[in-house]
Amino acid sequence: MKTFTNVNPKSVQEAVKLLGQQGKTTAVVGGGSDLLGMVKERLIQPDILVNLKTIPGLDKITEQGGEVRIGGLTTLATISQDPTIRSRYKVLADAAGAVGTPQIRNAGTIAGNVSQRPWCWYFRNGFPCFKNGGKTCFSIAGENEFHAIFGGGPSYIVHPSDTAPALVALDAKFRIAGPAGERTIAASEFFAPPSKDPSRENVLAHDEVLVEIHLPAAPRGLRSTYHKELDRESWTHAIVSVAVALEMDRDFCKKARVVLGGVAPIPWRLPKVEAMLAGKRITPELAAQAGAASIEGAQPLAKNKYKLPLTKAIVKRTLTAVAA
Amino acid sequence: MTTLNSVGHATPRIDALKRVTGGATYTADIAVPNMLYARVLRSPHPHARIRKIDLSKAQALPGVKTILTHDNCDIIWSSGDTRNKRYLFNNPVRFAGDAVAAVAAVDRYVAEEALRLIEVDYETLPFVLEPEEALKPDAPEIQPGGNLSPNNQGKAEPAIEKRGNIEEGFKAADHVFEDRYQTPHINNAQLEPRASMAHWEGDKLIVYASTQGIANCRTDIAKDMKIPVEKVQVICQYMGGGFGNKNQCHDFDLMAAELSKRADAPVRLEFTRKEDFISVHGRWPTVQYYKVGVKNDGMLTAIQMRGYSGMGPYRKGAGDISGVEVYQVPHVEKTSYMVYTNKAVSANFRAPAYPQGVFALESVMDDAAHGLKMDPLEFRLKNYTRKFRDQQPYSSSGLEDCLRKGAERFGWKQRWRPAAADTGVVKRGVGMGMGMFPSSLGRSNAILRVDSKGNYDVHVGVTDCGTAAKTTMALIAAEALEAPLDRITVIWGDTDTCPYSVGESGSRTTVFTGQAVIEAAKDLKKQIAEKGLPKGDQFWRADAAPNPQLRDLARYSFTAHFAEVEVDTETGHIRVTKFVAAHDSGRIVNPLTAESQVKGGATTGIGMALHEQLLYDKRSGLPLTAGYYNARIMTHMDAPEIEVVWVETDDPYGPYGAKTLGEPTIIPAVAAVANAFFNATGKRVKELPLTRDKVLGALSEGALA
């Protein structure tokens, strides 16, 4: 571990200023559950850690005009247990509750979860890949059982966040503070494919802070859930997951959002599946068709073809379960 | 069996409170004034020659005290390799993780920074990871003399074991079943991280180690440091698991000692978890070709096995592939190749040669039963060993009872159906496996003392690697002395205050050191009978060093495990829904901690079946899954309820008839789960672990290949 200085700003503006210091490597720290491990492994070597936990008010869940706002520092445990989130945005509570372990959920924050770095073993073991500043992705011809089947290239990581697919499914907005003030963008615009810049997973600039997440008022009849497949019973990232949000009118689906996790470098929306479901009664047959359609266009690597039947199965099942 | 007063009663560990309240001092907790911190630089290449090491920048860093490399240190770590000279720092380096340098500095951050400033000029060499590949003529040579590690006679030949005539055995068979099986390198993954703290008082070396055997550790250190054994003190008061990878002294004990000597200060050397996974050792990976012959009635006629064990580049472990003895069969031929590779070193891990051997053996036996349309339990009842290698009687055997009573508790009759009986998406299946493990006898020591108030001290050289050995010794002493447990004080874990103990390896402590406690207690009781209790500050003392031997008998512990799984055939998810472990380990000294042993061993076996492995990147030869997260070590959420059935045989040897327990607990667990998967689905996965890619691949009939 390289020695660093920890700074405790009192406001977001101060944090942004600290992050933008010239001549210093800086990193923002919230729960620190992953960041400190990366510092120890020297995957990042910041001179200064800007600690957001001393800024008051960033860990609250509030309501404004039907919209629910979640402070970036709200822990995953809080979100998974919050009565409002659980009743109106179940997919997010499910996803937050599916992250890691109780210890990680108690420390880890929502902002940290959506912006965490990938868990590709080449990246985490310090191989000189795109994510470590190199010019290649080792997974393409390597051990790629956990890598992308959609949207890969030139990097084939999968986005590791459980809450990210849920937030895309809920059409959340991310409020971001930076040196030039604030901007608010859709969750789907926050995550960036590797074709843009293979070293990064999102559009958050180095001197920006993800301050708050806004969930639009839950439409009537919104039913949602998150399903995660792990390769042991806890403490792994999704090998495949699916976030489903359906606006139901009795047993008709008015509008659907279906987003996969664990299969692509970004939360992977399935517009075609969503269109198949809109305006229909979700029968087991339709759910099965949606499952089959969910893997259309997938380009598996040598060792992750198993993700195809797995994706099919959980899309089918999750849709059936939500509609039931 | 007669009921005893202390032995056989569930008793909490005598150090439990200290352990759970933070009062126990583990090796990495030990700090003394002026102590330096040491870190090790490791090879980033699987195979490379070091052209030059430039220490100038590292030495210039303020706070750096001493640096060891192959240029300035030629200490041989003799227990690190039983065939070749293995230095603390080798050139060439032969696996990613081989030690290149060790630095002692004023704190751990300076030591780590110094590692980064050491400039090593490597000439990378070709490498090979898999044992079968390593035996090909054009494979890169890892040790002089080739990649086939010499057998016990010192010849570069496979180890061969024959009984009967294998060709006759196959001729006599009505059916022959054969297949290839593969198991990966798996790390012991003990909870306690690795550390060693060494310091010198004049010419005396004191090492705080995290070791399963203080006596062996002491002898090894003395030998390699070339000092008399009396000049070495090894202390280990509390340790947090080892499962076989803390048996001997280790290179880092020697590095700490040498750094301490040169820096003239105490040195604590610490490992990261990743280092622990790649640079010590794990279970040897294997490739096994099995061929078995059976008659129409299910009787075995022949077992042939050709196996390849990947030992890493140094021969630290035995490398054999065991388990065949559990079957009664007239014709046996086993050929085992112990092969050097450029992976992490392989050596002892809980029943070192067994779980991987029994996985393959019990898979092919399961195929045989299936092929004959026999209940696998019936097949095993027909064929289990009656005499060791069909020749030597056992001192006691509860194997049949393990099979019968285990099956009864499990509900085998109600649960077993022919393979792939379920037609739904989620398929249920049951599987079983059986195993045995030597419960040898041999030398160990104990010293007992009594004072004027009738309080007893029991001095035993155990460290208690998690088996509750201290408590076991207290119970045996209480029984033998006919004294209540609260009159007994156990003194352990320090070679200056404790006599020789065999070390907590080979599951021998209860039997070996327990017997010594009994013998010393007999002596002490005799003294008390003759002289009465001592007066004032006096005490009576009894030393015992028994070395019991078996004549014309084989002494083994036996076990049978039964597992039920549910396999979701759409997602490939496997869940163990029921698990019964039946064990004959003779008399059970402490049922409470013995049950924990079984649960721990079986859980480790389930993890080995389902998801654990140290996976390598084939192109770079570097490990990808070093650490708890990526190696997919079992979590609490993965561990099913494990029911334990004791089959207590009255063995005429061992303390109160106790036999070995620690290691048998893992042996058939892997096979039971793998066989349950086969029974559920009718598909056999022949390569561990049963991860989604392999499971869904098998279920898709090759459509995903």
Residue A161 falls within a domain, yes or no? yes
At residue A251, the pLDDT reads: 83
Kindly report which listed range (B65-69, B243-247, B340-344) carries the lowest average pLDDT score: B243-247
CATH code of A107's domain = 3.30.465.10
* Res. B702: pLDDT tops 80: no
How many Å apart are CA B608 and CA B630, to the nearest integer?
A: 14
At residue B655, the pLDDT reads: 97
Peptide bond into A154 cis (omega under 30): yes
Domain range enclosing A92: 61-116+156-215
Residue A227 falls within a domain, yes or no? yes
B523 and B536 Cβ atoms separated by less than 8 Å: no
**Counting every residue, how long is chain B?**
705
Q: Does the distance separating the beta carbons of A314 and B571 come in below 8 Å?
A: yes
- Beta-sheet strands, E only, within B470-552: 488-491, 539-544
Best residue in B108, B641, B704 for a mutation probing chain A (most A CBs within 10 Å): B704
CATH code of A21's domain = 3.30.43.10
How many Å apart are CA B293 and CA B365, to the nearest integer?
A: 10
Neighbours of A160 (CB within 10 A): 22
* Res. B235: pLDDT tops 80: yes
Same domain? For A311 and A195 the reply is no
How many Å apart are CA B175 and CA B181, to the nearest integer?
A: 20
Residue A299 falls within a domain, yes or no? yes
Same domain? For A205 and A65 the reply is yes
Quick one: average pLDDT of B365-373? 98
At residue A194, the pLDDT reads: 98
Best residue in B693, B694, B701 for a mutation probing chain A (most A CBs within 10 Å): B693
How many Å apart are CA B632 and CA A102, to the nearest integer?
A: 17
3-state SS class at A188: helix
CA angle B73, B74, B78 (to 5 degrees): 130
Please name which of B287, B276, B266 lies closest in space to residue B356, comparing C-alpha atoms: B287
Task: Return all residues near A40 (Cβ < 8 A) that are at least 6 apart.
Answer: A1
What pLDDT band is residue B701 in, cutting at 50, 70 and 90?
confident
CA angle B212, B5, B601 (to 5 degrees): 35
* Res. A2: pLDDT tops 90: no
CATH code of A268's domain = 3.30.390.50
Q: How far is CA A44 from CA A192, B47, B246, in A?
A: 20, 28, 33
B582 and B645 Cβ atoms separated by less than 8 Å: yes
Same domain? For A100 and A241 the reply is no
Same domain? For A165 and A36 the reply is no
Please name which of B358, B201, B211, B380 lies closest in space to residue B286, comparing C-alpha atoms: B358
What pLDDT band is residue A250 in, cutting at 50, 70 and 90?
confident
- The runs of H, that is alpha helices, within B94-228 are 108-117, 131-134, 166-171, 214-225
User: Is the Cβ of B618 closer than 8 Å to some Cβ of chain A?
Assistant: yes
**Counting every residue, how long is chain A?**
324
Same domain? For A169 and A280 the reply is no
Residue A147 falls within a domain, yes or no? no
Q: Classify strands B622-623 and B616-617 as parallel, antiparallel or unpaired.
A: antiparallel
Return left, alpha or beta for B5; rule: phi > 0 is left, psi -120 to 50 is alpha, else beta: alpha
- Distance of residue B307 Cα from the nearest chain A Cα, in angstroms: 26
At residue A118, the pLDDT reads: 98
Q: Which domains does chain B have, with CATH numbers?
A: 16-24+441-544 (3.30.365.10), 31-125+191-241+246-279 (3.90.1170.50), 282-440+552-699 (3.30.365.10)
3-state helix, strand, coil in chain A (%, to 5): 30, 25, 45
Same domain? For A207 and A231 the reply is no
Please name which of A16, A82, A25 lies closest in space to residue A49, comparing C-alpha atoms: A25
Q: How far is CA A250 from CA A281, B252, B699, in A?
A: 9, 68, 38
Quick one: average pLDDT of A287-296? 98
Same domain? For A43 and A90 the reply is no
List pLDDT tens digits, range B516-538.
Answer: 999 999 999 999 999 999 999 99
List pLDDT tens digits, range B317-337.
Answer: 999 999 999 999 999 999 999
Task: Return all residues near B391 (Cβ < 8 A) that are at least 6 apart.
Answer: none
- Total domains in chain A come to 3
At residue B553, the pLDDT reads: 97
Same domain? For A236 and A106 the reply is no
Q: How far is CA A198 from CA A61, A140, A142, A193, A262, in A?
A: 33, 14, 18, 7, 17
Q: Which helix (H) or strand (E) holds B40?
A: strand B36-42
Q: What share of chain B in percent tops pLDDT 70?
A: 100
Task: Return all residues near B595 (Cβ < 8 A) that are at least 6 apart.
Answer: B644
How many Å apart are CA B125 and CA B621, to the nearest integer?
A: 11
What was the ipTM of the complex prediction? 0.97
Q: Does the distance separating the beta carbons of B623 and A236 come in below 8 Å?
A: no
List pLDDT tens digits, range B446-470.
Answer: 999 999 999 999 999 999 999 999 9
How many Å apart are CA B700 and CA B118, to the nearest integer?
A: 51
User: Is the Cβ of A231 closer than 8 Å to some Cβ of chain B?
Assistant: yes
How many Å apart are CA A132 and CA A113, to the nearest integer?
A: 20
* Res. B153: pLDDT tops 90: no
Residue A106 falls within a domain, yes or no? yes
Same domain? For A111 and A195 the reply is yes
User: Is the Cβ of A145 closer than 8 Å to some Cβ of chain B?
Assistant: yes
How many Å apart are CA A6 and CA A9, to the nearest integer?
A: 10
Q: SS in 3 state form for B333-393?
A: EEEEEEECCCCCCECCCCCCCHHHHHHHHHHHHHHHHHHCCCCHHHHHHHHECCCECCCEC
Place of tokens 């004990």: B253
Q: Does the distance separating the beta carbons of A305 and B618 come in below 8 Å?
A: no
What pLDDT band is residue A64 in, cutting at 50, 70 and 90?
very high
Q: Does the distance separating the beta carbons of A143 and B618 come in below 8 Å?
A: yes
Same domain? For A211 and A230 the reply is no
Task: Determine phi and psi for A247, rounding to 5 degrees.
Answer: -90, 115
Task: Determine phi and psi for A139, rounding to 5 degrees.
Answer: -75, -25
How many Å apart are CA B206 and CA B201, to the nearest integer?
A: 8
Distance of CA B85 to the CA centre of its chain: 24
Same domain? For A202 and A81 the reply is yes
Average pLDDT, chain B: 97
Q: Does the distance separating the beta carbons of B693 and A232 come in below 8 Å?
A: no
Q: Which helix (H) or strand (E) holds B52?
A: strand B48-54
Please name which of B387, B358, B303, B345 lies closest in space to residue B665, comparing C-alpha atoms: B358
Among the partner-chain residues B617, B629, B635, the one whose CB lies closest to the CB of A142 is B617
Residue A95 falls within a domain, yes or no? yes
Same domain? For A175 and A242 the reply is no
Quick one: average pLDDT of B227-256? 94
Residue A144 falls within a domain, yes or no? no
Give the max Cα distance, chain A. Answer: 60
Residue A210 falls within a domain, yes or no? yes
Q: What share of chain B in percent tops pLDDT 90?
A: 97
Q: Does the distance separating the beta carbons of B625 and A306 come in below 8 Å?
A: no
What pLDDT band is residue A202 in, cutting at 50, 70 and 90?
very high
Please name which of B702, B695, B697 lies closest in space to residue B678, comparing C-alpha atoms: B695
At residue B620, the pLDDT reads: 98
Quick one: average pLDDT of B640-654? 97
| Amino acid residing at A219 | P
Inter-chain Cβ pairs, chain A and chain B, closer than 8 A: 88
